[in-house]
C-alpha cells in the first residue's frame, strides 16, 4: 500500500486540503441496479465548496463558495464514524465539517484508493471507504461571502440529483 506522499503522480493534486472546512449537508448512496446491469456504487456528498480563500488588505478573510456535488466512485468498505454524543435529545443535528481528506493507493492492477475524510465536526468523526476516484460538480457560480459557507437561503435547491 502506498500513500499520496509516496506517489509522485499525486503529490500535486492537493487532496489533503482541497475540501478543508467545507460543510457536508447531505450524504447519499447512489447504488445501481444489478438486475439491469447497472453496477454503480457511488458515495455522493452535498457540500459548500470553498473555491478560494481571499485575504483582504485588512487581514480579514472572505471566501469564494459554491454549492457542489462531490461523488466518490466504485465505493466499497464504507465506514461511518459520526457521533454527536448523547444529550437525551437536547443537541440538534448539524452539518458535518471536513478537516482533511487523505488517500492511500491500494495494491491493485488498477487505480483504487482507501480514502479517509476526517471531520472537524463532530470532533473525531470520520468517513472511510475504498473508491476508484472522485468527481465534483459546482451547481452554481461561487459567491463571495464572509463565512466559509453559503447563507442557508442561497444554497442551490437541487443538491443531489440522481443519475
How confident is the prediction along the chain (163 residues), in pLDDT tens digits per residue?
333 444 444 434 567 789 999 999 999 999 988 889 888 899 999 999 999 999 989 989 999 999 999 999 999 999 999 988 888 888 787 889 999 999 999 988 888 999 999 999 888 999 999 999 999 999 999 999 999 999 988 776 554 444 4
Beta bridge partners of 53: 63
Q: Which of 4, 17, 6, 131 is nearest to 77 (CA)?
A: 131
Mean pLDDT score across all residues of the chain: 86
Backbone Cα Rg of the chain: 17
Q: Which of 41, 83, 45, 82 is nearest to 67 (CA)?
A: 45
pLDDT of residue 5: 42
Amino acid at each position: 500500500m502506498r500513500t499520496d506522499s509516496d506517489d509522485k503522480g499525486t503529490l500535486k493534486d492537493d487532496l489533503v486540503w482541497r475540501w478543508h472546512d467545507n460543510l457536508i449537508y447531505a450524504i447519499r448512496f447512489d447504488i445501481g441496479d444489478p438486475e439491469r446491469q447497472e453496477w454503480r456504487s457511488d458515495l455522493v456528498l452535498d457540500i459548500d465548496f470553498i473555491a478560494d480563500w481571499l485575504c483582504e488588505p485588512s487581514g480579514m478573510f472572505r471566501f469564494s463558495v459554491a454549492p457542489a456535488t462531490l461523488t466518490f466512485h466504485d465505493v466499497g468498505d464504507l465506514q461511518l464514524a459520526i457521533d454527536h454524543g448523547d444529550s437525551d435529545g437536547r443537541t440538534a443535528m448539524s452539518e458535518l465539517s471536513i478537516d482533511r481528506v487523505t488517500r492511500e493507493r491500494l495494491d491493485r492492477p488498477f487505480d483504487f484508493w482507501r480514502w479517509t475524510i476526517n471531520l472537524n465536526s463532530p470532533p473525531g468523526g470520520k468517513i472511510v471507504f475504498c473508491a476508484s476516484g472522485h468527481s465534483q460538480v459546482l451547481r452554481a457560480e461561487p459567491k463571495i461571502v464572509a463565512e466559509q459557507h453559503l447563507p442557508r437561503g442561497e444554497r442551490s435547491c437541487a443538491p443531489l440529483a440522481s443519475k
